[in-house]
Structure 1
Amino acid sequence: MVLQHDVYRDKVKGCWMGKNIGGVLGGPFEGKRQFNDATFYVQDLRNGPPANDDLDLQIAWLAAVERYGRNVDASILGEYWLNYIIPNWVEYGQGKANLRAGLVPPLSGAVDNDYKNSNGCWIRSEIWACLAPGNPELATRYAFEDAIVDHASEGMLAEIFVTALQSAAFVESDPYKLIDIALTYIPEDSMVAKCVKKALECKEKNVSFKEAIALIHEVCPGSFGVQCNTVKEAEERTKAMGFKTVGEAGMDAPEHMGYIVIAWLYGDDFEQRMIHANEIGEDTDCTCATLGAILGIIHGAKELPAKWTDPLGDKIVTMCIDKTWDGIWVPATCTELADRIIRVVPGFLGVDIVDILAPGGYTIKCQEDLHCNGELGYIHRINPTLKDHHMSVRELSSLSSNVIRSYYPSFEVLVDLKEEPFFKPGQEKRIKVTVRNCFEQRREEWARITLHTPDGVEVIGAKECMLPLNNLWGAKAECEFAFNADMFSRGKLELLVEVQLEGRHSYGVTKVVMMQKGI
């Protein structure tokens, strides 16, 4: 499949216009557990649209891509998050606090983060879909890096699901096919998958729209719509909606994936679908904005109804970006934003995917099969030629949040802390180090793995290992280190895991930070 330049351009612009429409429609009703009967914008739009945080957060990610290209990862995005994003709302604030404490992603998104399963990262999916249109395998890898900055678990899976769907929507328009594609990128037993499947089941059984909302909620009850209410008020609002359960604090992403799907399937056109998304309540600006972006990609800017686009024009208004620092150029319009993305794509995707010399503007080669590759089945340690050795996004998203990943030119390092990054006197701690070969270079190596510790930390057994690092399918070098910190009195422990390939100049050092819990 090949995506033509004019089609791609129209769909990118449609994505951001749809995002803007949904954010404005749902904004006034955000955070309320109630059925909303609005059928159009309720704000005074004579001076243009209000700020849309669902859209403007992604401008920071675009700035990172413009500078670092395809090398963007969670570490780089974390730096941009600290430097340029103003809000400290729940998971955003905890993610920042963890980053400042030295906890790198994915620890930054997981440690003491009660809202790691909430809605703050899946609203940032569009940038990755637009940068890798028709290539959900690639788009979701970047969505994963994005999500683990300040989320984990179901929150992270929600962003992967939406990104896969939106990337595929550049070349596929059938809702059921798109949902099926997106589901292959997340675990079948995840709560996100269960809520989406419940929405599909409700549509298949012709359940009424309001009853479907209640059924989806009960699969994984969230609390976004009652977080500003007392317990008594929350119970009253919950009963009025026909819900049985108030919901868990911060467990918001799964049911909102179901809400997006149910609004999409129960509506017959753009307007009905947007009205349905807002009718549901809860995190309305996010639900509406994401569905609006999906529909904008499918239909393109040219086919979005003028009734919905004209009152907003092309204008973008931001609220979350700190513009007092150099480093971020904030676009004034959706067209400007789309143009910036279109300019950066050839370098981001590379010559294997983009034909920059194609007549009429560059074209983009898309995945032949839009579904997730999953775990490819080959004989263990068989010849590696012509095989993709990179971890699939399903494998990445299944990793514990206590696994730190580092990439270097000739190898990849995974440091598994086994449990949360805390220690206390009298406790033996273990970490597992896995080194994977860089299979693009296809060289057999020997890896020297060394654990460096500060004074007061005793390594139990060897502090250095020397292991073969083959390039055969599934080959890796693994070792474990054990230590105790009985004589270490400070509150923050910093370990260094060094990996050196024998006979090569390249090496890598991964920092591991742990916090003292006390006796």
Structure 2
Amino acid sequence: MKGEPVIPAEDEPGLADRVLGGWLGRIAGNMLGKPVEQGEVWTRERIDRYLRLSRALPLTDYLPEPPDEDTCLALRPEWRECVRGRIHGSCRDDDVDYAVLGLHLLETHGFGFSTEQVGDLWLLRLPYLQTFTAERAAYRNLASGIKPPLTATYDNPYQEWIGALIRADVYGWTSPGDPGRAAALARRDAVLSHTGNGVYGAMWAAALIASAFTAPTVRAAVERALLVVPAGSRLARTVRRAASLHEAGMRWEDTLSTLAQETAGLGWIHTVPNAAVITAGLLYGDGDFTRTIALTVRGGLDTDSNGATAGSVAGVLTGARAIPAQWKDPLEDTVRSAVFGFDGVRVSDLAERTLRLVTLPG
């Protein structure tokens, strides 16, 4: 893959802005969704009720402070660091930790990294108690001496949940315009902890981000990303269904209601229903950064993970300069991270390091 032509050299300044946009978008989308990250409590209807009570619809900024004590008690405890007026740099979250860790993986082992090296880096750099669901099961298996791919299947009921999808961004950021390459890298990472639709979700997300660098429209990026996963998989069928409902002119609310019915029973952290929410947010957001992450978070389920992925895609599409100031400025160019050695790193530094990994001709 070294030396593979993906982006003309003369476009590098634009590429730098898009890579930074991806990082900023991921962090901002994550922060927006963090306070209401608990899908069985914070349904789409309850999120909008919160926003109406706070006079924050349409949503164009981070969530407002809770309007009453009951709302306050229902929010994630980190809400005080994630609502408008209180944000001073990003709050720590696994949705950002894995992007940082993925960057470190590529810097350490290059694009020829093995699944075993992904696991080794987890044990070295990531605290066990900052892992969840499938990642915690895989981490426990690694610590017990189990090797991939058994780390994904032994005593792990979360194999198709969203964890691998949230680890995929860096493979898209470093494969601009090459969704196949991005998907292959994401798969090698994902099989440490996931199988089936859990792996396909990671491949799809990486390909979606890679496609966003060169696709003429959001819909084109969505369609290109679908080419990297099995057409008959439930993930692919659900994403196509979301796109068809959008194309038919169905309202965003009705599209989500239809998709919720069709994915009922999978749970709020499963990859498939969350991919539906992300797809709807992207298509109905139509390239507008604010509208994209607002609709995605209002869609419910795993709100911070979905906001992060949609924000990453939207940030790549628009570039950092076009992301409105209310999303960028409170981040203060600072990332809090549980990844050993990275707490307090600058967003701009992460983006520059990512850009250095991008393969360019010559």
TM-score, length of structure 1 as denominator length: 0.58
Q: Matched residues in 1 for 2:232 and 2:269: separation?
A: 16
Matched residue of 1:104: which SS?
coil
Structure 1 residues 181-330: aligned runs within 5 Å: 181-221=224-264, 247-248=265-266, 252-268=270-286, 269-318=288-337, 320-321=338-339, 323=340, 328-330=341-343
Matches of 2:327 and 2:253 in 1, distance apart? 25
Q: 1:309 to 1:193 in 2, by over 3 A?
A: same
For the residues of structure 2 that align with 1:46 and 1:10, how far apart are their CA atoms? 23
Counterpart-to-counterpart distance in 2, 1:21 and 1:250: 21
Computed over aligned residues only, the root mean square deviation of the Cα atoms, in angstroms, reads 1.9
Instruction: Find the aligned partners of 1:206 and 1:214 in 2 and give their Cα distance.
Output: 14
Q: Does 1:343 align with 2:356?
A: yes
Give the letter aligned to residue 163 of structure 1: A
Q: 8 Å contact 1:199–1:262 — kept in the other structure?
A: yes
- Structure 2 counterpart of 1:31: 38
1:72 matched to 2:79: no
SS of alignment partner, residue 310 of structure 1: helix
**Which residue number in structure 1 is paired with residue 7 of structure 2?**
2
What code does the residue aligned with 1:340 have? R
Q: Residue 258 of structure 1: CA displacement?
A: 1.1
Q: Is the 8 A contact 1:170 1:298 kept in 2?
A: yes
Helix, strand or coil at the partner of 2:345:
coil
Matches of 2:15 and 2:132, distance apart in 1 = 34
Residue-pair matches, total: 318
Deviation at 1:267, TM superposition (A): 2.6
Larger Rg, first or second structure (1 or 2): 1
Q: Structure 1's 15 and 251: CA in aligned 2 closer, same or farther, altered over 3 A? A: closer
CA shift for structure 1 position 167? 0.7
- Higher strand content, 1 or 2: 1
- Choose 36-45 or 114-123, whichever is displaced more: 36-45
Rate the CA distance shift 1:16–1:202 in 2: closer, same or farther, 3 A: same
Q: Within 2, Cα distance between the matches of 1:140 and 1:331?
A: 29
Q: Is the 8 A contact 2:138 2:192 kept in 1?
A: yes
2:335 aligns to what SS in structure 1?
coil
- Cα distance in 2 for residues equivalent to 1:250 and 1:113: 17
1:337 maps to a residue whose letter is L
Higher helix share: 2
1:331/1:337 contact within 8 Å kept: no
Distance change (3 Å), C-alpha of 1:147 and 1:46 = closer
Q: 1:106 to 1:217 in 2, by over 3 A?
A: farther
Determine the C-alpha separation between the residues in 2 that align with 1:180 and 1:277: 18
Following superposition of structure 1 onto structure 2, how do residues 342-361 of structure 1 map, counting pairs within 5 Å? 342-345=355-358, 349=359, 353-355=360-362
Shift in Å at residue 66 of structure 1? 1.4
Conservation of the 8 A alpha-carbon contact between 2:269 and 2:301: no
Given residue 188 of structure 2, which amino acid in structure 1 is its aligned partner?
A: E
Verify the 8 A CA contact 1:134 1:168 in the aligned structure 2.
yes
The answer on 1:56 being equivalent to 2:74 is: no
How does 1:412-427 map onto structure 2 within 5 Å?
none
Residue identity in the other structure for 1:310: D
Relative contact order, higher structure (CA 8 A, sep 6+): 2
Aligned mates of 2:275, 2:114 — CA distance in 1: 25
Structure 2 Cα separation of the partners of residues 127 and 107 of structure 1: 25
8 Å contact from structure 2 (residues 29, 304) kept in 1: yes
Structure 1 distance, partners of 2:299, 2:103, is 31
The structural deviation recorded for 1:330 is 5.0
Distance change >3 Å, CA 248–CA 46, structure 1 → 2: closer
CA distance in 2 between counterparts of 1:60 and 1:203 reads 35
- Listed as ranges, the matches of 1:392-471 within 5 Å are none
* Change beyond 3 A, Cα 1:74–1:92: same
Counterpart CA distance in 2 for 1:207 and 1:24 is 29
Normalised TM-score (structure 2): 0.83
Q: 1:267 to 1:130 in 2, by over 3 A?
A: closer
Q: CA deviation at 1:177?
A: 1.2
Deviates more, 1:295-304 or 1:30-39: 30-39
Q: Once the two structures are aligned, what percentage of the paired residues are identical?
A: 27
Q: Decide whether aligned partners of structure 1 residues 251 and 276 sit closer, same or farther in structure 2, where only a CA change above 3 A counts.
A: closer
1:332 is matched with which residue: 331, 341, 345? 345
Structure 2: gaps spanning 5 or more residues: 1-5, 52-58, 64-82
Q: Report the alpha carbon displacement of residue 18 of structure 1 after superposing the two structures with TM.
A: 0.5
Q: Distance in 2 between matches of 1:10 and 1:142?
A: 23
Whether the aligned pair in 2 keeps the contact of 1:173 and 1:298 (CA below 8 Å) is no
1:157: which partner in 2?
200
Corresponding residue to 1:15 among 7, 22, 28? 22
Distance 2:343 2:102 in 1: 11
1:41 aligns with 2:62: yes
Alignment partners' CA distance in 2, 1:118 and 1:23: 18
Matches of 2:266 and 2:327 in 1, distance apart? 35
Q: Distance in 2 between matches of 1:155 and 1:180?
A: 19
What displacement does 1:119 show?
1.0
Unaligned runs of 5+ in 1: 222-246, 356-519
Distance 2:315 2:109 in 1: 28
Find the aligned partners of 1:303 and 1:248 in 2 and give their Cα distance: 36
Q: In 2 relative to 1, CA 331–313 (structure 1 residues): closer, same or farther, beyond 3 Å?
A: closer
Residues 100, 300 of structure 1: alpha-carbon distance in 2 compared, 3 angstrom cutoff: same
